[in-house]
Amino acid sequence: MTIELVDGKAGVAHISSEDKAIIHQAKFSKSDVVFDWGDAFKCTMGSANKATIGTGCASIQGLDWHITAAESVTISNGSQGMKRNDIICAHYHRDSRSGIENVGLVVLKGSPNATAAADPTIPSGKILSGAVDAYMPLWRIPLDGITVGTPVRLFTPRGALWDSVTLERQPFPFFGNTLLLQKRNGLVIATVSASPTSTSRNLYNVTANETIANGFRPSSFNAIMTSVSHGDDVASVLIHSDGRISVFGTLIVGHHYLWQGVWPTE
């Protein structure tokens, strides 16, 4: 039978991790989520070869997991004259024979390159499709030669699920101000009011360094934010579904812009 009262008494053990993953994805998000609890998986480098991940709570594809005491992982030595990016991930694994599941921290090692480092490929296994392995990126560890750089966080902690509105603030491209993102009932409202820090004319599909945080990105299509300044110059921002930001138009120092946008998200 395909209908089940998951939280009801059945007389036998019947609630599976698949049941909980389905329900959590439907209620909260299909995306991996790190919650604002404990140290929110804070990463510190104790040495060039040791990264420590603090306490935290998260969901990988709908399956909840947490760290209740700091955990350490080993970073392989860098190479003189070479750059490399390693990614610290949460690794879900299910034993194909016993069905036993667990989660742990692993380091996916990038390929050394003399000019520019690239992130290693993150395997894309889907747990509900039967994959026995799945990975949730947490931190990027950049290496330049034998020097380890500052860890880069690859997630944004989310507030309590009962908050009526989830807020996110992040830098806005070309502006010395922050973009306010408000999410409620699957809709994101984006606003920012600011003046540019430099003049840029005739921009066309210029990719900004910033990206929209996971959980606030357009769900299936690109969204547009457009602004006309008091000097009548027009500038637009295209928000891609993968979080990238592309800028079009003209931005002039001393001119004030009010940006607004609304789009559906997961």
pLDDT per position as a tens digit, 35-89: 888 999 999 998 889 999 999 999 999 999 999 999 999 999 999 999 999 999 9
Locate the DSSP E strands across 95-213. 101-108, 133-144, 147-148, 152-153, 166-171, 178-184, 187-194, 200-211
Alpha-carbon span 146 to 103, nearest angstrom: 30
Instruction: Work out the average pLDDT over 101-105.
Output: 97
State in Å, rounded, how far the first CA of the chain is from the last one. 29
Alpha-carbon span 262 to 173, nearest angstrom: 18
Q: Residue 247: helix, strand or coil by DSSP?
A: strand
The structure tokens 């480098």 sit at: 45
Between 159-168, 186-195, 215-224, 257-266, the lowest mean confidence (pLDDT) is in 159-168
The pTM for the full model equals 0.63
Alpha-carbon span 242 to 97, nearest angstrom: 36
The structure tokens 């939280």 sit at: 7
Alpha-carbon span 43 to 93, nearest angstrom: 23
Q: Return the pLDDT at 175.
A: 66
Q: Return the pLDDT at 78.
A: 92
Contact 218, 263 (CB under 8 A): yes
pLDDT per position as a tens digit, 163-212: 556 677 777 766 667 788 888 777 888 888 877 878 888 889 888 878 88
Which has the closest alpha carbon to 215: 233, 244, 188?
188
Residues 6 or more apart in contact with residue 252 via CB below 8 angstroms: 196, 199, 201, 229, 231, 233
Question: Cα Rg for the chain, rounded, in angstroms?
Answer: 22
Percent of the chain with pLDDT over 70: 94
DSSP state letter for 127:
G
Instruction: Work out the average pLDDT over 121-138.
Output: 95
As given in the structure block, the two tokens for residue 155 are: 């997630």
Instruction: Provide φ and ψ at 176, rounded to 5°.
Output: -90, 45
Instruction: Work out the average pLDDT over 211-239.
Output: 83
Mean pLDDT of the chain: 88
Q: Return the pLDDT at 193.
A: 80
Q: Is 168 exposed, middle or buried (0-12, 13-18, 19+ CB in 10 A)?
A: buried
Alpha-carbon span 116 to 149, nearest angstrom: 14
Q: What's at 165, amino acid-wise?
A: V
